[in-house]
Structure 1
């Protein structure tokens, strides 16, 4: 089930975020590089007005196993986070979160979305490519991340 996250989900979201990062950054970023304030960042995102973005979470059997956060500005969306706990990879959780984000963007009239993906995270890069994300020709890199852009499809029946 995909739903809007609440403050009660913070610990679970922070834990799955840390588990996902530890997996895809393994041997590339020191453990100490885990950003301080992960819970605070997610709390600010959950607290934001829904006209400015949202945090969605995926729940299976009462457990939060994935989360996605996006911002809305000037008719564009920025997918700022999308994480699935590694124990739940390849089960459709990421796709369900992505689909829910795209649906929200369609309802908001968004035509373009952007994100940054860690260049060494081959798994995530393949995921985004399967979902229509392409390199952003205007901004090819964001430090250690590649910038990707999605043309948000029209909603069904439009």
Structure 2
């Protein structure tokens, strides 16, 4: 996680989640959720209102995980492996309680 990789994204308001990887044997045990929570805390600590990430459109498991955590496609795509694209997802944070 860190600043956005694309120059057209405002680093003053956006943080990027580069990757979350969990070993398949640990899937469903909350590891990904804890890593995601750490990213959300990173955004809050930096007073960043939006999270950004790319997910391979062929990875339905990852896309489902992100959708359950409130991420939504923003319409940007770029070529990826296997004639599939990477889709860009955004997470808009509610103000901290």
Band of TM-score, shorter chain? 0.7 to 0.9
Equivalent residue, structure 1, for 2:88: 147
More helix by share: 1
Structure 1 runs, 4 residues or longer, greater than 4 Å off: none
Higher relative contact order (CA 8 A, sep 6+): 2
Which ranges in structure 2 are unaligned for 5 or more consecutive residues?
Answer: 4-10, 80-84
- Give 1:75 deviation, angstroms: 2.3
So what's the TM-score if we normalise by structure 2?
A: 0.81
Give 1 or 2 for the bigger CA radius of gyration. Answer: 1
Which whole-Å CA distance do the structure 1 matches of 2:61 and 2:26 have between them? 14
Instruction: Note the aligned Cα RMSD (angstroms).
Output: 1.1
Deviation readout 1:82-103 (Å, 9 max, x if unpaired): 1111110011100011011101
Kept in 2, the 8 Å contact 1:106–1:153? The answer is: no
Which whole-Å CA distance do the structure 1 matches of 2:39 and 2:70 have between them? 13
Which ranges in structure 1 are unaligned for 5 or more consecutive residues?
Answer: 1-69
1:87 equivalent in alignment to 2:25: yes
For these two proteins, the number of residue pairs brought into alignment is: 85
